[in-house]
Structure 1
Amino acid sequence: MSDTSLDAADQGLAPVTIGLAELDPIADVEAKVTKNRSKVGSVRPSALLYTSGIGATVDLPHLSVMPHGLDAWQRYYDRRAGGADVIVEPRLLELVRAYLGGQVAQLRKAPWAPEAPGGFGDETIDLGIPVRVFPQWLRCTGCNLLSPASHQIFEFKNVLRYRPDQATFIHKDCRGWSASAGKIKARKGREQAVVPARYLIACVNGHLDEFPYAAWVHRGRSCPTAKVPQLRMREWKSNLGPDVQIICLSCDAKRGMLEATGPKAADKLPHCRGRHPHLDAFYKCDQPGKLMMLGAANQWFASTIGLLALPREEVATVADLLPVLQSLPPEVLAAATAKDALAGFRGWAGSITQSDLFGNATDDILWEAVQALACADAAPPPAEVSTDPTDILVPEWLVLTDEEKYTKHSGSADFRAVRRNVPQSLKPIVHEVVAVEKLKKVNAFLGFTRIDALDRIDDSKSRVAPLTRDGRPTWVPATEDRGEGFFLQFDEAAVAAWEQTVLGLDVWETYRQTHALNFKRRTSRTADDIDPDSRFPAPRYWALHTLSHLLIREAAMSSGYGSASLTERIYAWRADGERPPAAGLLITTTASDSEGTLGGLVDLSKPDRLGPLVHEAMRRGGRCSSDPVCSHRRPRGKEDFLHGAACHFCLFVSETSCERTNRFLDRRMLLDLMVDPDIATPALLGPILGT
């Protein structure tokens, strides 16, 4: 199977391209033969990082494809006018290097095809994200014939220029199925749709493989009558769910799929072959294979990192400038001819990169960086950067809580913030309100895991599937989104006093022990030396996280944005060494176009609107349609769910909005709920509730 492509545009949807080794649409385009088009669908740029990225199976209307690794992307960048679009954000690049190595030099936007008048022209039809058909085992919907696409029993059809969603595989001369061979021969053949076969084999090391249908039906042996046997997949409904049977038409062998899901399935399924289909490669692996259904929620978990692009106070260094200079076109770099003639170069480079680094760098530093770029040996080694999630948030917290800092830099292209007066009714607990009128969030894709998300296992780099065959990418996919939001800073003295009370309660100890149980059940053996308490957020996080969800649900009623479009960023940690304590939350909405958003969230930060917003959110949070069950919920015995008084009716939001997948939530910590004394906690918002 050859590469194919899914395109991601800066805004809107993006085209996808696909091809077979014997039927390569991209080669057809180059030869000016339009037997089949290469574009097969569209995805949004953000989907390439969070839902449909490298290694994920992307369900298109009639087939399923998998985006290829980065080794296959360069061909598409080379075909695009202007090459790759590079995102300049030194702080994010440093973090990516800390994860993947110092060889990473760029953050790139996905290759996308600009829309020509009247639609996508032939000159851009093969631009996009390279993908391949996966799974390659396909099933005819008419006769249930089961065969790999490479056997060419099924035909690929994608001839409509403006309807890539109609790309499909077909069984051209299907005669249906019948127990009698004579009846099949008597029927007239007709075209039938073909769909992906649903079973796969996965392992915890991120590998994914086709289900071995031929070996399964013959119980590990070869077919006695045919070198390449023909298979059929039949399905019946039963009390135990779908009953699927694999039948060999060559030797009449049969075997049901229920054996692959039963209690002894581990002994019957093959061991993992170490296959990474997105790289078209195999690696050593000693893990047992696990049955996986196509489209299962635990088939793919993105490993991403994102941060806010904030203004810089300090003078830029050579290390800061190098990644920015690397992103410039050669003709711009050629303008830096001498240290005494950098004024024109500064303006030209700054307008292209939209970076304030050139204004923060002296002539000596800028010239040294230009020379270092020309001589790789002169480049300084990458600095040591902490990848601790809290350390990543600290620079943002220091800017958002310092009026002098965010006011000083509010004229930059990507950041503008103003201080708002705190509503009188919120002053007992809210210390400061900041309207972030303009912000930019940058996100990078590091890899992915299977079976369980990275933060739910052991954070082991060996569990993250590589993006390139050698595991050392020189660039990674990234996105930048612009938008708005509002920031609330809470009074540290009040939060610390409340938190100290909660830490001594029995119910808090219950949560701590439950988290330890959940952690041990979900982590691998290599995580035995990790202290679960080091991953357990403090009470202030639970309370502010709960308030954030209430505000998201309430803001969706009046901001003009749906709740799934709003995201949270929680700054909640206790003092640790030189790290100052934090208690705040940022609610934002962003869009991938260059204009950002419409100002609905910023308007909610005005005193006359913020006060009613918070009080209405508190009123709604005080009741749940599943109370008293919800209000009294806490883990018991062997239960290991990581929330208290929280459920879909009162607190849970879309996973696109919550940074912890609806974990660490409890209305009791925030509001004064009527509950039994043994699970009651003081309410953080008690001072504004009058309790």
Structure 2
Amino acid sequence: MQKIRHDLRLSETVSPFGVGAIVDIRGESLIAPDTSWWDRRTAPEIHCDRLVDQLIQPGRPRPVLRQAPAHAGVAGQDTASLPYWRFPAWRFCERCLKLSKLTTIEKGHFKNRCSCGGALVPMRYVAVCKTGSHIQDIPWFMWAHRGYDKGVSDEVRVCRSYKELRFVRANSRGEGLASLRVVCDGCGRSRSLADLMGEGALHRDGIRCDGRQPWEPAESVSSACEADLTAVQRGATGNYIAERVSALDIPEEKSRSEEVSDQVRAHDYFARLVDDNGGPKSEMIAGWIAEELGVTPEDVLAVVLADSNERGDTGVRRLKDGEWAAFVKKTESGKDTELSDFVVDGWLVNSSTRGPEDLTSLLVGGGQVHRVREVRALRGFRRHDPGAAFISADLGQDPRRRPVFPSIELFGEGIFLQFDEFALRAWEQLPDVRARAQVLIDRRDRLDWARSRLDTPEPRLIALHTIAHLLIRRLAFASGYSSAALQERIYASTERSEGMAGILVYTAAGDAQGTLGGLVRLGGPEALIPLLVAALDDADVCSNDPVCIESDRQGAFQLNLSACHGCALVSETSCEFGNRLLDRQLVLGGSEVTGLLAGVLPAIRGGLQSL
């Protein structure tokens, strides 16, 4: 084991250099092993019960959230650290060009130097499993002596010159991969890296998936992986697709629909209603329960249907239910005098609120979030494809040991906006609006990974999500924070009887006890409503129009409609859905679509022209 003194920000240990990620440090290429390799004595525990509840694994004890060890100032010799595994093991010398996976040891320490004195450079290409999310070294000696061309003679096949490989560039062969070659001085075999590319290239050379991660021992593999390998560049984005989950540390509140559901389940007649299972007595029994509880029979039957279908909400949705209820309560309460990690000064829209009526009529109120604590955890990762197998952040085999998930706590500020539920429901019922949203719903449903990782793109979700992006882009000019420093949280659902319709834009820092107040000062109605108008004005004309506004298939997997980098996209780290499920037309309107805020800009411009 070699100690390489290098500092990472605490947030980087969750993303982008968390478990399973490759990081380049001082000429070395390293990969982070899972948390079963961590020294738990040096990794402090982070407490957030709401988040832990969403990370519980079947058959495993309750998990633990732990933060990577940290230090202040210059690191000492005995400073706690995280383990990283050297990957890829194959390297070449920048001076003599020798290719090997041997490591020089000098005075008991590993040395990243060749025997000739040249620095060892990690190989550029590695092999990734297409569906199993495994990654491994390309066995360069084996690969160099395989192939189906005329160069594979008997002398090549039996070559054992393991120390005679060189990685060279042949300028006479042009540019690109064709000019990069692995040469064996023992048998004279030479093969171009262009042979790595192409469907099934490694499979034809007899190179199979090891079925494990680089830090896992070979004996840990219980069954062979039959998936094909593909050669990819070491730093390619698709090599690591992290799956994170976050929760705001707020007082747990129950929404009205959750309270009704609890009351229905506790009623004496509920068991009889379940036993009838939709039979002829169901409506009658539901009516009895509804009359006593002061709700509708439809509300009662919805609870039974949810239980019978076992329609388990995603963890993120359950987290958002409690957050939404807490924000709504704060919005109605006015100035917050509590001393906690969740401080929000709420305000409501009333007759004195200045702004375009087409905008204020859609708003209920908002909140200036002075302080909020967020906890983020890394659940695991995938490789190569969003639909590949999921790899947990803790691969420990002991079923009695509590799983550990890398986490970070952040403190920050933000702006909350609550939209009027009745106005949104009326807008969502318009046939043109429903037809527009159905385009994204159909595309999302055709993708297996999208169905499990992306919320159903209802009209309100698409519109509120797009508004959040437009607001983030405008706040980058007014708040003092870059757009990459801002995060969004979208509260949009029609599955509850009272619904959810709101957005939170916030910033949080993991290595500070707060932020500078740039968002809070813009969170009042006198500043926020003009900012919203300015954001709509920015998005009214895109530099890619008319192509952008007339498009209905943009972005990754065509999961955006009228939205591009010129108008609505932000940093992917700021977006809950990876810059997907966006559409300007559902906000601003189009030739055949009624936008949620379509009347705002024409009303303002008309007023200016009349002055």
Q: What's the TM-score once normalised by structure 1's chain length?
A: 0.70
Q: Structure 1 pair 193/406, CA: closer, same or farther in 2 (3 Å)?
A: farther
- Paired residue for 2:510? 592
Aligned equivalents of 1:168, 1:309: Cα separation in 2? 45
Structure 2 counterpart of 1:685, one-letter code: L
Q: Which residue of 2 aligns with 1:416?
A: 343
The answer (yes or no) to whether the contact 2:464–2:492 under 8 Å persists in 1 is yes
Residue 306 of structure 1 is matched in structure 2 by: 246
Query: In the alignment, is the contact (CA less than 8 A) between 1:502 and 1:681 conserved in 2?
Result: no
3-state SS in 2 of match to 1:278: coil
Structure 1 residue aligned with 2:546: 628
1:193 aligns with one of 89, 114, 119: 119
Contact 1:386 1:392 in 2 (8 A): no
Q: Check if 1:547 corresponds to 2:445.
A: no
User: Quick check: 2:331–2:345 contact (8 Å CA) kept in 1?
Assistant: no
CA distance in 2, matches of 1:240, 1:507: 47
Q: Is the 8 A contact 1:409 1:415 kept in 2?
A: no
1:57–1:66: 8 Å Cα contact kept in structure 2?
yes
Is 2:473 aligned against 1:556?
Answer: no
Residue 575 of structure 2 is aligned to residue 658 of structure 1: yes
Match runs of 1:636-647 below 5 Å: 640-647=557-564
Which residue of structure 1 lines up, in the alignment, with residue 368 of structure 2? 435
Structure 2 partner of 1:245: 181
Post-superposition offset of 1:142: 2.1
Matches within 5 A, 1:123-522: 123-124=78-79, 127-148=80-101, 151-152=102-103, 154=104, 169-173=112-116, 191-203=117-129, 204-219=131-146, 224-226=158-160, 228-236=162-170, 241-243=176-178, 244-265=180-201, 267-268=203-204, 270-281=207-218, 282-283=220-221, 284=223, 285-312=225-252, 387-403=314-330, 411-422=338-349, 423-425=353-355, 426-453=359-386, 457=387, 463-465=390-392, 467-470=394-397, 473-501=402-430, 506-517=435-446, 519=447
Paired residues of 1:224 and 1:251 also in contact (CA < 8 A): no
Kept in 2: contact 1:199–1:294 (CA 8 A): yes
Partner AA of 1:170 in structure 2: R
1:65 equivalent in alignment to 2:5: no
Q: Distance in 2 between matches of 1:558 and 1:512?
A: 34
* Aligned counterparts of 2:162 and 2:373: Cα–Cα separation in 1: 55
Q: State the secondary structure of the residue aligned to 2:543.
A: coil
Q: Deviations over 1:14-49 (max 9, x none)?
A: xxxxx2xxxxxxxxxxxxxxxxxx233221121111
Deviation at 1:683, TM superposition (A): 1.1
Deviations 1:315-339 (A, max 9, x none): xxxxxxxxxxxxxxxxxxxxxxxxx
* Cα distance in 1 between the residues matched to 2:519 and 2:382: 34
- Distance verdict in 2 for CA 1:509–1:420, change over 3 Å: closer
Deviation, 1:448, is 1.2
Given that residues 104 and 475 in structure 1 are in contact (C-alpha distance below 8 angstroms), is that contact kept between their aligned partners in structure 2?
no
Corresponding pairs, count? 525
Q: Aligned equivalents of 1:644 and 1:401: distance in 2? A: 31
1:345 maps to none
Of the three residues 534, 537, 547, the one matched with 1:619 is 537
Distance 2:363 2:34 in 1: 47
Q: Which residue of 1 aligns with 2:5?
A: 40
Contact 1:279 1:469 in 2 (8 A): no
Aligned AA (1:111): P
Answer with 403-412 or 387-396: which moved more: 403-412
The letter for the 2-side match of 1:96 is L
- Is the Cα contact below 8 Å between 1:428 and 1:688 reproduced in 2? no
1:110 lines up with 2:30 in the alignment:
no
Range that drifts further, 222-231 or 401-410: 401-410
Q: Distance between the aligned counterparts of 2:170 and 2:463, measured in 1?
A: 49
| Partners of 2:177 and 2:192 within 8 A in 1 | no
Listed one character per residue, the Cα deviations across residues 128-178 of structure 1 (whole Å, up to 9, x for unaligned) are: 111121111111122321110xx23x568999xxxxxxx9722242xxxxx
Aligned residue type for 1:572? A
Distance in structure 2 (CA, Å) of the matches to 1:136 and 1:416: 50
Residue 594 of structure 1: CA displacement?
4.7
Structure 2 distance, partners of 1:210, 1:100, is: 33
How many angstroms apart in 1 are the aligned matches of 2:596 and 2:203?
52
- Partner Cα distance (2:469, 2:431) in 1: 21
> 2:25 and 2:315 mapped to 1: Cα distance?
37
1:84 aligns to 2:27 (yes or no)? no
Distance 2:69 2:313 in 1: 30
1:85 deviates by 1.6
CA deviation digits over 1:469-518, x for unaligned, max 9? 4175532221100000010011111111111215665544433333344x
Where 1:653 maps in the other structure, the secondary structure is coil
Q: Which residue of 2 aligns with 1:324?
A: none
State the shift of 1:406 in Å.
6.6
Q: CA deviation at 1:300?
A: 0.8
User: For residues 88-138 of structure 1, what are the alpha-carbon distances to aligned partners after superposition, in whole Å with 9 as ceiling and x for unaligned?
Assistant: 1111111111x46541342111112343xxx222232xx211112111111
Structure 1 residues not aligned, in runs of 5+: 3-18, 20-37, 160-166, 174-190, 315-383, 524-529
Task: Output one character per residue of 1:165-208: Cα deviation in whole Å (capped at 9) or x when no partner.
Answer: xx9722242xxxxxxxxxxxxxxxxx322211011111122211
Relative to 1, partners in 2 of residues 1:100 and 1:158: Cα closer, same or farther, differing over 3 Å?
farther
Distance of 1:225 and 1:502 partners within structure 2: 71
Structure 1 pair 501/110, CA: closer, same or farther in 2 (3 Å)?
same
- Provide the rounded CA distance (Å) in 2 between the counterparts of 1:101 and 1:56: 27
Is the 8 Å Cα contact of residues 368 and 416 (structure 2) preserved in structure 1?
Answer: yes
Moved more, 296-305 or 99-108: 99-108
Distance 1:385 1:101, change over 3 A: farther
Per-residue CA deviations over 1:61-86 (Å, capped at 9, x if unaligned) read 31111112222212xx44xxxx4321
Counterpart-to-counterpart distance in 1, 2:315 and 2:204: 41
Q: Conserved in 2, the CA contact under 8 Å of 1:540 and 1:572?
A: yes
2:112 aligned counterpart, secondary structure: strand
Q: Residue 617 and residue 656 in structure 1: after superposition, are their counterparts in 2 closer, same or farther (change >3 A)?
A: same
Q: What's the RMSD between the two structures over aligned residues?
A: 3.1
TM-score with structure 2 setting the length: 0.79
The aligned counterpart of 1:49 is 14
Alpha-carbon spacing, 1:229–1:616, altered in 2? closer, same or farther (3 Å): same
Residue pair 2:371, 2:411 contacting (<8 A) in 1 also: yes
Partners of 1:223 and 1:410 in 2: CA distance? 79
Cα separation, 1, equivalents of 2:336 and 2:443: 44
Match of 1:582 in 2: 500
Deviation of the 1:416 alpha carbon: 0.5
The one-letter code matched in structure 2 to 1:628 is: P
